[in-house]
Amino acid sequence: MGLFFNPFNNLICILLGISLTVWFTMLLVFIIVPAIFGVSFGIRRLYMKTLLKVFKWATLRLERGAKEKNHLLYKPYSNAIIAREPTSLEQEIKEIRRSGSNRDLNSASEFEMSDIFYFARRGVESIMDDEVTKRFSAEELQSWNLLTRSNYNFHYISLRLTVLWGLGLLIRYGFLLPLRVTLAFTGVGLLVFLTSIVGLLPNGRVKNYLSEKVHLMCYRICVRALTAIITYHDSENKPKNGGICVANHTSPIDVIILASDGCYAMVGQIHGGLMGVIQRSMVKACPHIWFERSEVKDRHLVAKRLSDHAEDKSKLPILIFPEGTCINNTSVMMFKKGSFEIEAKVYPVAIKYDPRFGDAFWNSSKYGMVSYLLRMMSSWAIVCSVWYLPPMFREEGEDAVQFANRVKAAIARQGGLVDLLWDGGLKRGKVKDTFKEEQQKLYSKILVGAQEDRSRS
């Protein structure tokens, strides 16, 4: 028996060795080498166009089959459930008082019971159509991309569609996922190893040059681990040394998306484990800004270290996501003012993902980092557009909050995103009392104004 199985085992080992050799050769020739030189064979673009044709055919077949069976195919969805007119608190209360008592606001008493209807209605509207909470869940698609998320009411339509979905599952989990995991480990491993080697060199032009090449190469390999297809616009506005790059935040991979086109100084809290190993190796090659947990709460210390870095024109531009949390690719929420208090040139960047190929949004309250990355790597692709906006300066007489809002508005306008004033911290926290006080102040001004009008008359 041993004589019979030995040749068979040897044959299996030979075939396995050949398979691994072919696998890594293909990775080296078609992915790693192009990433080193920053070139592309156009395979990912062709892959994206093919997917679009498949999605179109599948969606048309679904719609035709659903129509024949009288099924509701898609989940009714809109960005706003309740239609609201852009009116002020004063105008709305004035209308309520007129319809209720036929009296004008200016002749009203200090308080009317009908005023309660305004606040009750707004409260119910906020519960039914909360414009903050829905920014932290994946946006629903109006087409089918052969992924479960894009169709909550999917029913069996035809054998061909079922076979197509099964084939897609096999391709994504049987071929793409192993390939992407291999590339991810390759990119991260090279980043840790090569930055540690570069860190041994003395500071100077050679070290800076090698550090830039190493970072770009490793980030480009990681981009290919996601099959990311990125279109960069207006590259003449790319952030330059001595400045601060601010961008809207959808996913942790925003860093990889931007860093694969240019080098940045990262800002963040020091971690342990694998992330800590990566941070320590990266800071050896170039000056990133890592904070201890106790230092993050010290605003003055954070501002000083950022300011000192920005003042040195030889250092890389700082990359910051002022929202402080991930938003679902539909909106831009309040920018924290800290990074806008520094006297430095600000380079706004808008990032917009195409949800048809995969959902890039990270709902950190629902998925851990590992499960999120597995979802990303098992999707079809990550397709996005990046716009480099012209640099912006803080104008005379403009405070940090006003400057932050101006930059945020520019990013939202360019990326086709909704510009919201709400703080992204509401994802986990409660509404601050200041928001309630603002509404109380507005209502008080209305009553005080009515009293003053009566006294003058």
| Sequence-separated (6 or more) residues with CB below 8 Å from residue 425 | 324, 325
Q: 126-177, pLDDT tens digit by residue?
A: 655 566 666 666 666 656 677 755 454 554 566 777 788 888 888 888 888 9
- Tell me which amino acid residue 78 is: S
- The torsion defined by the Cα of 126, 131, 133 and 135, in degrees rounded to 10, comes to 170
Asked if residue 337 is part of any domain, the answer here is: yes
* Domain assignment of residue 103, yes or no: no
pLDDT tens digit sequence for 394-409: 888 888 888 999 999 9
Query: Alpha-carbon torsion 275, 280, 284, 289, what sign?
Result: positive
Q: 332 pairs with which residues across the strands?
A: 419
For residue 3, pLDDT beyond 50: no
Mean per-residue pLDDT for 435-451?
66
pLDDT for position 77: 43
Class of residue 456 by CB neighbours under 10 A (exposed 0-12, middle 13-18, buried 19+): exposed
DSSP 8-state assignment for residue 154: -
Specify the pLDDT at position 143.
62
pLDDT at 345 over 70: yes
pLDDT at 76: 44
Residue that is written with structure tokens 């009553």 in the block: 447
Determine, yes or no, domain membership for 53: no
Nearest-angstrom CA–CA distance, 119 and 56: 46
Position with higher pLDDT, 35 vs 370 = 370
Burial (CB < 10 A; 0-12, 13-18, 19+), residue 124, is exposed
Residue numbers of the domain that contains 223: 148-420
Q: What is the pLDDT of residue 232?
A: 93
Q: What's the rounded Cα separation, in Å, for the pair 243 and 312?
A: 9
- pLDDT number for residue 406: 92
d(CA 98, CA 92): 10
Average pLDDT, the chain: 77
| Cα–Cα nearest to 422, from 74, 134, 101 | 134
Res 334 pLDDT > 90? no
Interatomic CA distance for residues 210 and 243, integer angstroms: 21
Structural domain includes residue 122: no
In a domain, residue 300? The reply is yes
pLDDT confidence bin for 426, thresholds 50/70/90: low
> Is the residue at 28 inside a domain?
no
Band (pLDDT 50/70/90 cuts) for residue 390 is very high
Whether residue 403 is contained in a domain is answered as: yes
| List of residues 6+ apart from 294 with CB closer than 8 A | none
- State how many domains the chain has: 1
Pairing, β 346-354 against β 382-388:
antiparallel
427 domain residue, yes or no: no
* pLDDT recorded at residue 6: 62
Location of structure tokens 């808008």 = 350
